[in-house]
């Protein structure tokens, strides 16, 4: 971008900045709505609670089973066939 083009498009800088922020927010929302991403976050939180001794092994196992069940329930029906491999 040359000096002249830079000066002419300078008034558009706030618009470009706002668009970049909006794109970042959209990407974050999409990540948070992803069931796989939510499961990983929940399992990480449970692991931290276990390591900090906020929960015991039994509570951890129960919460883990519940998180996995919620994850499997959120998947489309066709994906359920692939989850039953184990």
Q: What is the structure's pLDDT at 42?
A: 92
Cα–Cα distance between 62 and 37 in angstroms, integer?
Answer: 20
Q: What is the structure's pLDDT at 32?
A: 76
Q: What is the structure's pLDDT at 10?
A: 78
pLDDT(75) > 60:
yes
pLDDT(84) > 70:
no
Average pLDDT estimate for 44-60: 94
Residue spans of the domains in the chain: they are 35-74
Report which of residues 72 and 82 the model is more confident about.
Answer: 72
> Rounded mean pLDDT of the chain?
83
Cα dist. 83→27, 28, 76 in Å? 26, 26, 11
Q: What is the structure's pLDDT at 85?
A: 52
In a 3-state reduction of DSSP, which class is residue 53? coil
């Amino acid at each position: 971008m040359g000096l002249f083009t830079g000066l002419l498009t300078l008034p558009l800088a706030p618009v470009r900045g706002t668009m970049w922020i909006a794109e970042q927010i959209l990407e974050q929302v999409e990540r948070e709505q992803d069931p796989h991403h939510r499961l990983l976050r929940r399992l990480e939180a449970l692991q931290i609670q276990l390591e900090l001794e906020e929960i015991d092994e039994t509570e951890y196992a129960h919460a883990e089973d519940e998180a996995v069940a919620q994850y499997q329930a959120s998947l489309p029906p066709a994906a359920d066939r692939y989850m039953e491999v184990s």
